[in-house]
Amino acid sequence: MKAYKDMEKEELQQLVRELKAEYRHYQNMEFSLDMSRGKPCQEQLDLSMGLMDVLHSEADLFCEDGTDCRNYGVLDGIEEAKVLLSDMMENHPNQILIFGNSSLNVMYDSISRSMTHGVMGSTPWCKLPEVKWLCPVPGYDRHFAITEYFGIKMINIPMTKKGPDMDLVEKLVREDESIKGIWCVPKYSNPQGYSYSDETVRRFARLEPAANDFRIYWDNAYGVHHLYDREQDYLIEILAECKRAGNPDLAYKFSSTSKITFPGSGIAAMATSLNNLEDIRKQMRLQTIGHDKVNQLRHVRFFGDIHGMVQHMRKHADILRPKFEMVEDTFERELGGLCIGEWTKPKGGYFISFETMDGCAKEVVKRCKKAGVKMTAAGATFPYGKDPKDSNIRIAPSYPRLEDLKVAAELFSLCVKLCSAEKILRDKESGIISEGKGDGETLAKDAGASAADPS
């Protein structure tokens, strides 16, 4: 297949006419699909309907230690839930705090607490002249929204297939005391699906921050969200590595069952050092007498133990895997060899990251929306919604039905082709690209190469 930038102007003009005609066909379909967020689909939610049956009016609502889950108390969470979540997070139950349904809420509270009361006796951030935060990009828009809300200055850190650019991370945290944290989605990252390498995790654990209240916000949201039984990414456990490196208090680790059971009714947990836990409990004792223990108990009764959770996640994978593979196959068929886009092929998580030619992402998303498919806003994967290259688009295959997703993937591919062809034609007509000199202007990799294993 001929790369678009190797085409002559007349070829491109004819191609644009054909692509526009095909695009009008999709517009006439009056298709409507919202795939802007990474939500579980109905079939995935149905997997957890047993949660509604394990507890009833005649059920035993007492824990093994005699705690009545209907009553007040148990600030840290019931012991059975701490064991289940600690097995999921690969930490000791003594390192775990159980919260409500949202790990994002716990992250928000952690930053809010640091702003008003500091970290383990340090100066509250609200009393400092400036607070900065490192943000691996592309990344999770809701992370960035939290730090933006608190007026924290965000600094872009480029992501690689092994994780954030650690040379830059190490330099910045070592030299700047105003840098207080970094957002991390270390396994099947949002949106690229990358998992941090062993070296990256070890370098994180051995950071030497100028600020003693610097913390790594380790959001292991997709720790058990594999797409394949045999091809899975593995991650070194960060808290053990921090302790081994002599930095036991360096990281906060977050997780939840939000995309395991019901997103609105799951269990969130935080794991960290004993020193950090005691500091956090000071706030928690005033904030709540205890979170929803009935919900904690029903999760324990539903799964039994971590083995039950693993079997449950295999069912999720059986639903998600065909969707991811269909999108990836569509991109390879429609865009492979054209040198107008790159995409990741993750082994787990909830997203595929797509890189258009520079300056095309917003127009691709706009064109998709006009034809009935709502995508995550271009730029959302960067702080302040500003993608400097206007090239990254997050694709969330989980929620749509497979047949609808097929139409959406084909439409998306068409919009990429149309926007890319129009841009290249404009560049050729304006003299930015000379006729017959397309090779030097193509993307660094062609689309086929971009679909290789990203780990």
Q: Read off the CATH number of the domain in which 79 is found.
A: 3.40.640.10
- Specify the range with the lowest mean pLDDT, choosing from 1-5, 120-124, 140-144, 213-217: 1-5
CA 204 to chain centre: 19
Average of per-residue pLDDT across 39-64: 97
> What percent of the chain lies above the pLDDT cut of 70?
95
Inside any domain, residue 321: yes
Q: Any idea which residue has 């059971």 for tokens?
A: 261
Strands (E) in 179-259, as ranges, are 179-184, 215-219, 251-256
CA 229, CA 194: separation in Å to the nearest integer? Answer: 17
Residue after which a domain boundary falls, among 272, 304, 336: 304
pLDDT of residue 255: 98
Is residue 183 scored above 80 in pLDDT? yes
- Specify the range with the lowest mean pLDDT, choosing from 228-237, 327-336, 370-379, 434-443: 434-443
Q: How many CB atoms lie within 10 A of CB 423?
A: 21
Which 8-state DSSP code applies to residue 201?
H
Inside any domain, residue 29: yes
pLDDT of residue 439: 44
Which 8-state DSSP code applies to residue 68?
B
Is residue 185 within 8 A of residue 221, CB to CB? The reply is yes
pLDDT digits (tens, 9 = 90+) for 152-180: 999 999 999 999 999 999 999 999 999 99
CA 209, CA 175: separation in Å to the nearest integer? Answer: 8
Average of per-residue pLDDT across 393-405: 97
Inside any domain, residue 89: yes
Residue after which a domain boundary falls, among 240, 270, 304: 304
Is residue 444 scored above 70 in pLDDT? no
Inside any domain, residue 200: yes
The pairing of beta strand 268-271 with beta strand 179-184: unpaired
CA 144, CA 115: separation in Å to the nearest integer? Answer: 16
pLDDT of residue 431: 81
Burial of 179 (0-12, 13-18, 19+ CB in 10 A): buried
Is residue 451 scored above 70 in pLDDT? no
Is 106 in the same domain as 228?
yes
> What percent of the chain lies above the pLDDT cut of 90?
93
Mean of the per-residue pLDDT values of the chain:
94
Instruction: Label residue 435 by pLDDT band (50, 70, 90).
Output: low
Is residue 320 scored above 90 in pLDDT? yes
Is 130 in the same domain as 232?
yes
C-alpha torsion sign, points 90, 95, 99, 105: negative
pLDDT of residue 360: 98
Is 335 in the same domain as 252?
no
CA 3, CA 274: separation in Å to the nearest integer? Answer: 57
Name which residue leads in pLDDT, 18 or 1: 18
Is 179 in the same domain as 324?
no
pLDDT of residue 231: 94
CA 195, CA 137: separation in Å to the nearest integer? Answer: 14
Is 134 in the same domain as 16?
no
Is 98 in the same domain as 246?
yes
Residue 251 three-state SS: strand
Is residue 341 scored above 50 in pLDDT? yes
Is 336 in the same domain as 238?
no
Is residue 416 within 8 A of residue 427, CB to CB? The reply is no
Q: Read off the CATH number of the domain in which 446 is found.
A: 3.90.1150.10
- Specify the range with the lowest mean pLDDT, choosing from 66-80, 240-254, 277-291, 431-445: 431-445
Nearest in space to 20 (alpha carbons), one of 407, 358, 405, 419? 419
Inside any domain, residue 58: no
Inside any domain, residue 142: yes
Is 320 in the same domain as 292?
no
CA 322 to chain centre: 20
C-alpha torsion sign, points 30, 31, 37, 42: positive
Is 295 in the same domain as 316?
no
CA 419, CA 92: separation in Å to the nearest integer? Answer: 51
Q: What own/partner pairs with CB < 8 Å and gap ≥ 24 does 428-432 have?
A: 428/9, 428/12, 429/9
Average of per-residue pLDDT across 65-78: 96
pLDDT of residue 312: 98
Is 36 in the same domain as 123?
no
Domain that holds residue 95: 65-304
Inside any domain, residue 55: no
pLDDT digits (tens, 9 = 90+) for 363-390: 999 999 999 999 999 999 999 999 999 9
Is 365 in the same domain as 262?
no
pLDDT of residue 432: 78
Inside any domain, residue 52: no
pLDDT of residue 1: 75
Q: Strand order in 352-356's β-sheet? A: 341-343, 352-356, 392-395
Residue 373 three-state SS: strand
Is 264 in the same domain as 336?
no
Is residue 449 scored above 60 in pLDDT? no
Name which residue leads in pLDDT, 46 or 448: 46
Is residue 450 scored above 50 in pLDDT? no
Average of per-residue pLDDT across 225-241: 97
Give buried/exposed letters for 284-320 (b at 16+ CB in 10 A, else e): beeeeebbbbebbbbbbbbbeebeebeebbeebbebb
Is residue 77 scored above 70 in pLDDT? yes
Structural domain total, the chain: 2
pLDDT of residue 452: 38
Residue after which a domain boundary falls, among 275, 304, 333: 304
**Residues contacting residue 213 through CB under 8 Å, at least 6 positions apart:** 114, 118, 119, 120, 122, 123, 180
